Structure 1
Amino acid sequence: MTDNMKGTKDGRKQPDFVPFHNMHIQLYERQYSEVLPSILASIAVYSETSKNDTLLYLSYYARGSFYRKKGLKDEALASMLQAEKISKNIKNPPGNVGFYSDIANLFFELQQYEDALQYYLDLLHKNDFSANKKLQGAIYNNIARCYANIDKHDYEKAESYYKKSLAFYGKFQDSLNLAAVHLNLGDLYFEQYKDRLAVDHLKKALLYSEVSEAVDIKDDIYFNLSLAMESAGQTKKALEFYKKYVEQLEGIWNRDRIWGLAEQEKKFIVDKKQTEIQLLEKEAKLQKMQLDTKRMQSNTFFSIAAVLLLLLLVGLYSYSQRIKKNRVIALQNIQLDELNATKDRLFSIIAHDLRTPVYLLKESNLRLKKALIKNELTDLEKQLDLNINMTENTYSMLDNLLYWSLEQKNGSFYKKEQLPLHSIVEQVLVNYGNALKIKDIRLDKNIPEGIQVYADSNAIKIVLRNIIDNAIKFTQDGGFIKIDAGIYENQAELVVKDNGIGINKAMLDTIKSGKTVRQKDTSGRTSTGLGLELCRIMTEKNAGRLMIESEEGKGTSVKIVLELVKK
Structure 2
Amino acid sequence: MNTYWQRRNSAFYTVLILMLTLFFTKPVACDAQSQVTDSLTKVLAAHPSKDTIRVNILNQLSRFLFTQVPSLTETYAKEAFHISDSLYYLPGKMWATRNLALAENAKGNLEKQTDLTLEALKLAEQLKDLKATGVLNADLGNIFIEQQQPRQGLIYQKKALAIKQRGNDQAEIGKTLNGIGTSYMVLKEWDSALHFLYASERIKLALNDHRGLAYAYENIGTVLSVKGRYKEALRYHTMSSQFYKESDNVQGVVKSYLNLAQTHTFLKDFAAAEEDLQNARRLNKNMQNARNEMIYYRYRAMLDSARGNYAQALENFKEFQALSEEVFSTEKSKFIANSREKYESEKKQHENELLKKEQLLHLATIRQQKIFVFFCIGMFIALATVTVLLYRVFKRQQELYSQLNSRNRRVQQQNQIIMDQNAALESGNQVKDKIFSVISHDLRAPLGILEGMLFLLRDEKMTQEQFNMFVDELWRDVKNTSSMMDNLLQWANSQMKGIRVMADDFNITALLDSEFELLQTLARQKEIQLNHLLPPVIHVYADKDMIRMVLRNLVSNAIKFTPKKGVITVDYKLMPDKVEIMVKDNGVGIPLEDQSKVFSNIYYSTTGTQNEKGCGLGLPLSKDFIQLNNGQIWFHSFKDKGTSFHFTLPLSEDEETTSAHGMTIILQTSRDYSH
Report the TM-score range of the alignment, normalised by the length of the smaller protein: 0.3 to 0.5
Q: Normalising by the residue count of structure 2, what TM-score does the alignment of the two structures yield?
A: 0.36
Q: Normalising by the residue count of structure 1, what TM-score does the alignment of the two structures yield?
A: 0.42
Higher RCO by CA contacts (8 Å cutoff, separation 6 or greater): 2
